[in-house]
Amino acid sequence: MFFSKKSNKLTSSVTAIALTIGLNQFLIQPSSAVNINGSGSTFAQGLYQGTSPTGLFSTAGSWFSQYAIVNPAAVFKYAAVGSGAGVTSFLTQTPPSGSPTVPAPIAYGATDDPIITNPTATTPNAGPTVQVPVAGGAIVLIYNKTGLTIPANGIKLSRRTYCGIFNGTINNWNAPEIKQDNANAVIAANLPIKVVRRPQATVESGSGTTFNLTNHLNTVCRPTPLVNPTPAINPPVTFTWNRGFSTVSRPAPACTTGSSAFVCWPATFLQPATKGGSALASLVNSTSGGFGYVDGATFFSQASIAGSNLRSACLQNQGGVYICPPLNKATNPPLSAANLSAFSVSVSNGFVGATDTDTNNRRIALKVPNPSSVAAYPMVSATYLLFYDKYADVNVANGIKGFIAWVATNATADTIAKNRGYAPLPTTIKTQVNTLVNKCVDIVVDPAAGCV
């Protein structure tokens, strides 16, 4: 057989190229890669999965996508269906109904309302539930700017004012309380405030964002003086909250106030036809006088769309200081990772001194309905992941442990969170989280007295 040096060199080159392609395919997603499927919180979607193909909240830059580069053997898949639906999917080990969805088997759940029991799973995964917080985020009060005269530094809302708005007592943008908050500026001569809430249980089984908002209202909408109770600066709250705090929304008169099973909103409040924070933001955007509440990532991504009417309100914290999320002015510079990261600092300040409030050894909970720092954004929430004690597939268990270790110890994970307006949790909490998952997530059911 005849071989020329030229043909031999060509063959070697083709072989090298083929080997390189094969190696790159392995690095992107090896044949042994395992899918780790879960669903839940729309609040955390911008962090876990991203909300758009490109931009500040791109899928490629999200936690799950970036972790897949670090560990291509573990591919996290996620459906942002809301905290209530995510918890149900996790507890029943069945994919969430409707769209978006993920295939079986379910490996984790995501919620912004921490669970208070340890349901025990049986098959294919088993054992008591493990719950850990992984990041902090902001609840942003949003409004439709159409017809409003926005002061140079944005619209300020004191605690008295936003308590009155959500209670249904302050219902016009010309209210004297709003005028006083804004140095007697006239925001509107006469424009009704149209509050938009999350839909009731027939549309959405539960919203962690609603739970954390109403838990905050239930805490601060009381006639308790602030740290700096100067009436001219911090008018006392006169609209006591008695409409409950829960993930589930209902309208009056189909409910009674004072229940913790649901939030009994005023009957005049609007609701979107579909679930999720994006639907609420869209309805505020299209409604003259619209006002509502969403997670930061949803607001930032929707308010950045050309022609958007959405703006954020500056909120008064416990110290009487107004903290403003980005995009709070009539005209704003383009949203950037830098100003999101700057806002993230005020969200992080909301968790200063936060400690685990759950005494169960398999759960960690951080509840800060009224942050004490004068530099803190006043409406913050931790977002949680739920895991099983025993996994049928050791690769899934190891993938989860690796991801949590990355979140707890890797600077890249912190940077991603900050650049999307979320907040890394305090180091002490992250260490607790990593330790708990390493002890309790594996392929056997550990003793109830302590995971090993």
- Checking if the pLDDT of 259 tops 60, the result is yes
Q: Is there a contact between 366 and 425 (Cβ–Cβ < 8 Å)? A: yes
Structural contact between residues 39 and 81, judged by C-beta atoms closer than 8 angstroms: yes
Q: How far apart are CA 289 and CA 292, in angstroms?
A: 10
pLDDT at 134 over 50: yes
Matching fold, domains 33-136+354-367+381-440 and 138-349: yes
Q: What is the DSSP string of 239-281?
A: S---S---S-EEETTSS-TT-SSSEEE-TT-B--SS-SHHHHH
Confidence bin at 17 (pLDDT 50/70/90): very low
pTM score, whole prediction: 0.86
Q: Which amino acid is at 39?
A: S
- Range with the poorest average pLDDT among 22-31, 44-53, 232-241, 322-331: 22-31
Q: Does the pLDDT of residue 19 top 50, yes or no? A: no
CATH topology of domain 33-136+354-367+381-440: D-Maltodextrin-Binding Protein; domain 2 (3.40.190)
State the pLDDT at residue 101: 82
**5-9, 11-15, 60-64: which is most confident:** 60-64
Give the pLDDT confidence score for residue 231 in this predicted structure.
Answer: 53
Q: What is the pLDDT of residue 292?
A: 98
Give long-range contacts, CB 8 A cutoff, 24+ apart: 443-446.
Answer: 443/390, 443/391, 443/392, 443/394, 443/397, 444/390, 445/126, 445/127, 445/389, 445/390, 446/127, 446/389
Say which residue the tokens 């913050």 belong to: 380
Low-confidence winner among 52-56, 69-73, 426-430, 443-447 (lowest mean pLDDT): 443-447
Range list of β-strands (E), 34-185: 34-40, 74-80, 106-111, 120-121, 127-128, 130-144, 156-157
What mean pLDDT is predicted for residues 36-57?
94
Tens digits of per-residue pLDDT, 111-133?
A: 998 988 777 777 789 888 999 99
**β-strand pairing of 106-111 with 34-40:** parallel
Q: Which two tokens stand for residue 306?
A: 């050309």
**pLDDT category of residue 78 using cuts at 50, 70 and 90:** very high
pLDDT band at 234; cut points 50, 70, 90: low
Minimum mean pLDDT range among 18-27, 317-326, 362-371: 18-27
pLDDT (average), residues 42-51: 94
Beta-bridge partners for 136:
382, 423
Over residues 236-249, mean pLDDT: 83
Does the pLDDT at position 415 exceed 90?
yes
Using the predicted structure, report yes or no on whether residue 189 has a pLDDT greater than 90. Answer: yes
Per residue in 88-106, pLDDT (tens digit) is 999 999 999 877 889 998 9
What pLDDT sits at residue 251?
A: 81
pLDDT band at 232 (very low <50, low <70, confident <90, very high): low
d(CA 435, CA 424): 17
Ranges 172-181, 257-266, 422-431: which has the least confidence: 257-266
Instruction: Output the six-digit token pair for 411.
Output: 């600077």
Identity of residue 269: F
Q: At what angle do helices 63-70 and 394-409 cross, to 10 degrees?
A: 110
Q: Provide the pLDDT for residue 228.
A: 53
**How far from chain centre, in Å, is Cα 412?**
19
User: What number is the average pLDDT over the span 189-214?
Assistant: 88
Residue 247: the pLDDT is 83
Q: Does pLDDT of 244 surpass 50?
A: yes
- Whether the pLDDT of residue 366 is over 60: the answer is yes
- In sequence order, the β-bridge partners of residue 377 are none
* Residue owning tokens 């962690």: 208
The residue extents of the domains of the chain are: 33-136+354-367+381-440, 138-349
Measured CA to CA, the distance from residue 347 to residue 357 in angstroms comes to 19
- Where is average pLDDT lowest: 31-35, 43-47, 429-433? 31-35
The Cα–Cα gap between 327 and 309 comes to 11
For residues 38 and 54, what is the distance between their CA atoms, to the nearest angstrom? 23
Residue 31 has pLDDT above 70, yes or no: no
Q: Which CATH architecture has domain 138-349?
A: 3-Layer(aba) Sandwich (3.40)
Please give the residue that has the higher pLDDT: either 32 or 191: 191
Instruction: Tell me the per-residue pLDDT of 155-170, one tens digit each, with 9 for 90 and over.
Output: 999 999 999 999 999 9
Cβ distance 157 to 327 under 8 Å? no
Residue spans of beta strands (DSSP E) within 28-178: 34-40, 74-80, 106-111, 120-121, 127-128, 130-144, 156-157
Residue 355, amino acid: T
pLDDT of 214 strictly over 70? yes
Q: Residue written as tokens 């580069």?
A: 69
270 in Cβ contact with 196 (< 8 Å): yes
Cα three-residue angle 436-429-435, rounded to 5 degrees: 20
Q: Which helix (H) or strand (E) holds 295?
A: strand 290-295
Judged by average pLDDT, the poorest of 136-150, 220-234, 250-264, 366-380 is: 220-234
Strand partners, 140: 294
What is the band of 50 on the pLDDT scale with cuts at 50, 70, 90?
A: very high
Q: Which of 265, 290, 273 is nearest to 194 (CA)?
A: 290
Identify whether the C-beta of residue 129 lies closer than 8 Å to the C-beta of residue 115: yes
With a cut of 90, say whether residue 204 has pLDDT above it. Answer: no
Q: What is the pLDDT of residue 414?
A: 98
